[in-house]
Amino acid sequence: MRVPPLRSCFLSDAAARGAASLLALLNLAACGGDEDEARHPKPIDRPEIPAAQDIQTTDLALDLGALAGKATLVVVPSAGKVTLDVSGLTVTKVTLDGHAVTPEITSGMLQIPVPGAPDAVTVAVEYAFRARTPATFDGWMPSLGVSFVWPYSCSNLFPCDPSLSDGVSFTMSIAGVEDGLTAIYPTSTRGDGPAYMPAVAVGDYTELELGTTTAGTTLSAWYLPGRNALEDATKGTAHLVGAFDYFEQTYGPYHFGPVAGTVEVDWGADSWGGMEHHPYVHVGKFDFNDEEAQVHEAGHGWFGDGVRIACWEDFVLSEGTTTYIAARALEQVEGPNEWDYYVDDFLVPICEGSSHDPTLVNTIVLPDTCGEIDFVHDDLWSITPYMKGACFYEEVADVIGPDALDQTIGEFYTTHVGQAARMQDMIDLIEARAEASDRPAIQALVSDWLLSFDCPENYADRCRTHGN
Ligand SMILES: [Zn+2]
C-alpha cells in the first residue's frame, strides 16, 4: 500500500493559466473530501455488483425542482438477481417487468431477485435524490445549475453500476426547471458510455450554432451571460468543427449521435477545465475561450467515453490519448500548437518536482494492476497521465510517422468503441502495426514514458519537438 499524497485545497498555478480537462476538478474534489480521510484513505469499499450483470439502457426522468427521479433500466441479470447501487438515493417504489416488488436495500445496494433466467428484465425505480453542494461536487448542485458524478458518484443521481466495464446508453428527460432558464442535456446518448457520462446543465443559455461536420454531426456551443460571452465562445470553438471533423474522418464515426456540442458551466471559483459529458460536454467558464480545453473534451467522445477505460489504472488511455489527439487535430486544422503549453506548463514542473500543486506530482502513469488502486487518493489522479501519455504518443509518431499513428489509433477506436479497453491493448496494437525494425524503439518509449517514474533525459525537447 502506498502513502497517499497530502492533497491541499488551492487553485493550482497551472489551473490559473487555464488547464486541460479535469485539472481544476482534481482540486475541487480534494477540497470536498474530509481532510483526514484524504490523508488516511479507507480501502476501496465499493459495493459488489456481479461483473456479468449488464445494464443495457437507462432512461432517466429527473425533476430538478422536486428532487425526484424515475429510472427505467433494461438489465441482463446475474446470479438470479439485479443489483444496483442506490447509496445516495431514497427509493420509494420498484417494479420488475411492470410488477411492484418490495425494495431490499443492503449497504446502499438494491437487490431484486429475478425468477427464471430471462435474457433481460426491465427495472423501474422511483426515488428522491439530495441536492449536493459545490463542497462535495458529487451530484446535482442547484446552486451551480450543474450535475457532476465523475468518477463514481452516479448513485447520488440515479440507480447505477459505477463500474467502468458496464457501458450504458442513456435517454433523459428533465422537469422542474426554473422559468426563463434552459436545461441542456441529451434526450439520448445513442451509444454506450460510462456511468459518469450523463449530465444536465441549467442556466440562461444562448446557443451559438457552430456548423456541421463532413459526416453530418451538427455542433453548437451554449454560453452563459457575461462580459465578452459571445467573443469567448467564438474564440474557444474557432476550430472545434474542424477538429471534430478530423476525429471523425481520422479515427472513426462519432458514437453519441448526430447532434453534439459544448456547454459553458459555472463551477464556482474553480471553473477551469472541462468534463466529457458527451454529447454535450461541459467546459468551465474560465476556459470556455480556450481551444485546447474545448477540443480535449470533444476528443473524449473517442477515448474515455467512446472507448471506455477498463479500470482506473488505464486512466492514461483516456487522458493521455485525448491530450495527444487534441493537439494533433488542432495542428492538422491549422489551430494553435499546444506542445509548448503541455511541456512548459505541466510536464516540466511534473518532471522537475518543482510545483507544490498536488495535480503536478510525478508518478508512473501505467500501473501494472487493474481495479486495485484507490483512484481519487492515488497520484495517478493528477495531470501526469495526461502529459506523459501525450508525450508517449508524440514520440511514437516521431518513430513511425504521425499519419501511421493516426491510422493505428483509428483502428483501435473502431475495434473497441462502445466497449472498455486497456492501455496495454493500445500498446500491443501500435507494436503489431509498426515495422519490426521500429519495435525496439517503441518498447523503449513505453518504458520511458509509461512505466518509469523519472522522466527521460531531454524529456522537454523530445516531447515538444516533432520529428525527433
Ligand atoms: Zn480529459
Q: How far is the CA of 242 from the centre of ligand 1 (A)?
A: 19
Q: Domain for residue 454, yes or no?
A: yes
Q: Domain for residue 279, yes or no?
A: no
pLDDT score of 34 = 40
**Three-state DSSP class for residue 454:** coil
Q: How far is the CA of 41 from the centre of ligand 1 (A)?
A: 24
Query: What sign does the dihedral 356-358-360-363 (CA atoms) show?
Result: positive
Range 117-132 average pLDDT: 96
Q: How far is the CA of 126 from the centre of ligand 1 (A)?
A: 33
Q: How far is the CA of 118 from the centre of ligand 1 (A)?
A: 38
| Residue 447 clears pLDDT 90, i.e. is over it | yes
Q: How far is the CA of 55 from the centre of ligand 1 (A)?
A: 25
| Residue 135 clears pLDDT 90, i.e. is over it | yes
Predicted ipTM of the assembly: 0.94
Q: How far is the CA of 21 from the centre of ligand 1 (A)?
A: 4
Q: How far is the CA of 462 from the centre of ligand 1 (A)?
A: 23
Nearest C-alpha neighbor of 361 from the set 341, 390, 381:
381
4-10 contact pairs (CB < 8 A, 24+): 4/38, 4/39, 4/41, 4/374, 4/377, 4/378, 4/379, 5/358, 5/361, 5/379, 6/38, 6/39, 6/358, 7/38, 7/358, 8/356, 8/358
Q: Domain for residue 376, yes or no?
A: yes
Q: Domain for residue 207, yes or no?
A: no
How many independent structural domains does the chain possess?
1
Q: How far is the CA of 127 from the centre of ligand 1 (A)?
A: 31
CATH of the domain at 388: 1.10.390.10
Q: How far is the CA of 323 from the centre of ligand 1 (A)?
A: 7
Domain that holds residue 387: 314-464
Q: How far is the CA of 307 from the centre of ligand 1 (A)?
A: 13
Which residue, chain included where needed, has cell 427495472?
123
Q: Domain for residue 429, yes or no?
A: yes
pLDDT score of 36 = 37
Q: Domain for residue 411, yes or no?
A: yes
Q: How far is the CA of 186 from the centre of ligand 1 (A)?
A: 20
390-393 contact pairs (CB < 8 A, 24+): 390/320, 390/323, 390/324, 390/327, 390/342, 390/463, 391/342, 391/347, 391/449, 391/459, 391/462, 391/463, 392/320, 392/445, 392/446, 392/448, 392/449, 392/450, 393/320, 393/321, 393/324
| Residue 231 clears pLDDT 60, i.e. is over it | yes
Q: How far is the CA of 351 from the centre of ligand 1 (A)?
A: 20
Structure-block grid coordinates of residue 338 = 499546444
For residue 201, is it left (φ>0), alpha (ψ between -120 and 50) or beta?
beta
| Residue 11 clears pLDDT 90, i.e. is over it | no
pLDDT by residue (tens digit) across 372-400?
999 999 999 999 999 999 999 999 999 99
φ and ψ at 345, to 5 degrees? -85, -25
Looking at the DSSP bridge assignments, the partners of residue 107 are none
Report the C-alpha gap between 116 and 283 in whole angstroms: 46
Q: How far is the CA of 385 from the centre of ligand 1 (A)?
A: 10
| Residue 224 clears pLDDT 70, i.e. is over it | yes
Q: 19-28, 29-38, 44-53, 198-207: which has the minimum mean pLDDT?
A: 29-38
Give residue 252's pLDDT band: very low, low, confident or very high (50, 70, 90): very high
Q: How far is the CA of 20 from the centre of ligand 1 (A)?
A: 7
Task: Please give the full DSSP string across 34-46, using - where no structure is assigned.
Answer: -HHHHHSPPPP-P
Q: Domain for residue 39, yes or no?
A: no
pLDDT score of 21 = 42
Q: How far is the CA of 174 from the centre of ligand 1 (A)?
A: 26
Q: How far is the CA of 230 from the centre of ligand 1 (A)?
A: 24
Q: Domain for residue 401, yes or no?
A: yes
**Three-state DSSP class for residue 168:** strand
Give residue 45's pLDDT band: very low, low, confident or very high (50, 70, 90): low
| Residue 22 clears pLDDT 50, i.e. is over it | no
Give residue 47's pLDDT band: very low, low, confident or very high (50, 70, 90): low
